[in-house]
Amino acid sequence: MIGILIISHGTLGESLIHCASHMLNKRPGRLRQLGVTAQDDPVLLVPQARKMVKELDEGDGVLVLTDMYGGSPSNIAAKLVIPGKVEAVAGVNLPMLVRALTYRDKSLAIMMTKAISGGCEGVLRVPPTFVAIHNVATGS
């Protein structure tokens, strides 16, 4: 099973894990998070992140998910990448995490591709319901 490490600003990673656990009715194994605060020196967090990757890797690799490309969490993630063994994807959201969890029994390359497509496909305009349209049209 491929391990997953979320590196994000503040408590975003733990919140995503909590939401995914709610959706799946259990907290998935081999899933951890590292929150980066404004007070943290990102350079000092790299050894901790490396240790977490090592603990998560059962031999199938680790996918690191991070929030915003170019931020401290993604800069930490970039230092962890070992192509084919530890990969990183920026822009984590709940659809991306759920898709990654769903495909973690495949190869790391497939899981990464599915996570990216899940993250992108999960961003869309929510169409109004008939009730909302009716309320606007009638003023009620």
Q: Which helix (H) or strand (E) holds 32?
A: strand 31-36
Measured between alpha carbons, how far is 37 from 39 in angstroms, rounded to an integer? 5
Domain ranges of the chain: 3-138
Overall pTM > 0.95 = no
130 pLDDT band, cuts 50/70/90, is: confident
Q: What is the pLDDT of residue 20?
A: 97
Measured between alpha carbons, how far is 89 from 78 in angstroms, rounded to an integer? 9
**CATH number 3.30.420.40 is the correct assignment for the domain at 3-138:** no
Q: What is the pLDDT of residue 35?
A: 98
Work out the average pLDDT over 13-39.
97
Q: Residues with Cβ < 8 Å from 6, sequence gap 6 or more?
A: 12, 13, 16, 17, 31, 32, 33, 34, 64, 65, 66, 92, 97
Residue 68 near residue 45 (C-beta atoms within 8 A)? no
Measured between alpha carbons, how far is 109 from 87 in angstroms, rounded to an integer? 8
pLDDT, one tens digit per residue, over 50-86 is 999 999 999 999 999 999 999 999 999 999 999 999 9
Q: Which helix (H) or strand (E) holds 102?
A: helix 94-102
Decide if pLDDT at 93 tops 90: yes
Q: What is the pLDDT of residue 135?
A: 65
